[in-house]
């Protein structure tokens, strides 16, 4: 559904919304946040249930990006959802979120070329649409390192990855998730196929916009077939330069990508406006034109504060707004926004890796009042 654009009866950021098949208590979404705290076997840690449970007052939680197979990993200690143990680990998380009245979807990713050989099985190297090394670094067991040189995926390997996304979607439902979000942003594998800076293929997955949007369409189509369109969303970032992502003409590319997702009836699109994690500076991109191509819920993200988010909903520019670091540091962000209460200071040194500190020990408003 889309919110009304008539401000006379416009919804509030704190009003409920139905996103596909998911009934959300409000329009504040917890954005996916990599925390690099998975345990042995890349199983979500027992603390993850408390971490997500603390944030269950969000209208919708999108988990940290989660691998669909063993070659999809690009950072140390990020969870998967392709083994029975991983599924059971996520079940503990979804049970706790649901116990506290929340709704949660898992973000499914394959990092593609944004990886390092030390994170992959022996003898494997990162895979990508083309053998072009990403201009970025990653966190590996040996520390902060340049990503490894990838190899180009063979044509016969691509259907296997599509199937892995679909199986991960089925695993997500088995794990108790309310749905999935396909990670097609930030320079990871699907985004690498989309952009002409990273996709130099000469087969049916390269060259034209129709060909470069094919992989995203096939992944989404397979996930829809697996669990239903009303439980599938997708995240895109049309102009972010993250992980060396770039395209010579992103406007028509992403308009076509969104058209193809709309044709599948997806529940929502989650769009990062501008550079991921960067300042909200004017960008040469028409997001309104992008939104006009999609009939489902439109979730915006990147640097929104309370006032900006309230205005975006009130003025009909979005159906929901996603917040990253604010939710990381404020488990009760919805209440703090409603009451115009001060926010906790995020501890950046604890964002990635570690234990409880900076993960499950941020105070609630009631804690601060004691």
Q: CB-based burial of residue 8 (10 Å sphere; 0-12 exposed, 13-18 middle, 19+ buried)?
A: exposed
- In our burial notation (b when 16+ CB lie closer than 10 A, e otherwise), range 262-294 reads eebebbbbbbbbbbbeeeeeebebebeebbebb
How far is residue 179 CA from its own chain's centroid? Answer: 12
SS3 category, 108: strand
Per the CB < 8 A criterion, the answer to whether 51 and 18 are in contact is: no
Q: Contact at 8 Å (CB) between 255 and 261?
A: no
Cβ 196 vs Cβ 243: under 8 Å: no
Q: 3-state class of 169 per DSSP?
A: helix
Task: Give the angle 170-324-285 at the CA atoms, nearest 5°.
Answer: 90
Element holding 152 (H helix, E strand):
strand 151-152
In angstroms, rounded to a whole number, what is the distance separating the alpha carbons of residues 230 and 3? Answer: 17
Centroid of chain to Cα 239? 16
Helix (H, G, I), strand (E, B) or coil at 280: coil
Using alpha carbons, list the distances in angstroms from residue 44 to 83, 211, 247: 12, 36, 35
* Candidates 51, 52, 75, 188; catalytic one: 188
Active site residue 287: no
Q: Quick one: CA torsion of 200, 201, 207, 209, rounded to 10 degrees?
A: -90
Catalytic residues: 188
């Amino acid at each position: 559904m889309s919110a009304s654009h008539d401000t006379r009866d416009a919804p509030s950021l704190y009003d409920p919304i139905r996103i596909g098949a998911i009934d959300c208590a409000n329009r504040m979404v917890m954005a996916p946040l990599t925390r690099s705290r998975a345990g042995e076997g890349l199983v979500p840690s027992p603390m993850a249930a408390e971490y997500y449970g603390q944030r269950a007052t969000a209208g919708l939680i999108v988990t940290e990006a989660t691998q669909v197979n063993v070659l999809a990993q690009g950072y140390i200690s990020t969870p998967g959802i392709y083994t029975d143990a991983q599924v059971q680990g996520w079940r503990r998380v979804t049970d706790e979120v649901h116990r506290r009245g929340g709704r949660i979807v898992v973000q499914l990713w394959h990092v593609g070329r944004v990886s390092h050989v030390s994170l992959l099985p022996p003898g494997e190297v990162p895979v990508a649409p083309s053998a072009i090394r990403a201009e970025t670094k990653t966190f590996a067991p040996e520390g902060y390192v340049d990503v490894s040189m990838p190899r180009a995926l063979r044509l016969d390997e691509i259907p296997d990855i599509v199937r892995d996304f679909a199986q991960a979607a089925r695993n997500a439902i088995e794990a108790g998730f309310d749905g999935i979000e396909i990670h097609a942003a930030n320079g990871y594998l699907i985004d690498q196929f989309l952009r002409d800076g990273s996709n130099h293929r000469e087969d049916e997955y390269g060259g034209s916009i129709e060909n470069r949007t094919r992989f995203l369409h096939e992944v989404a189509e397979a996930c829809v077939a697996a669990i239903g369109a009303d439980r599938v969303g997708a995240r895109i970032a049309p102009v972010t330069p993250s992980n060396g992502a770039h395209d010579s003409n992103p406007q028509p590319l992403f308009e076509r990508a969104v058209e193809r997702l709309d044709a599948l009836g997806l529940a929502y699109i989650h769009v990062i406006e501008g550079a991921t994690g960067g300042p909200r500076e004017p960008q040469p991109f028409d997001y309104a034109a992008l939104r006009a191509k999609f009939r489902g819920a439109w979730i915006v993200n990147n640097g929104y504060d309370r006032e900006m988010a309230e205005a975006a909903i009130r003025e009909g520019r979005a159906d929901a707004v996603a917040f990253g670091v604010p939710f990381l540091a404020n488990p009760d962000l919805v209440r703090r926004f409603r009451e115009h209460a001060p926010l906790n200071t995020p501890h950046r040194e604890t964002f990635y890796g570690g234990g409880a500190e900076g993960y499950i020990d941020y105070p609630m408003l009631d804690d601060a009042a004691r």
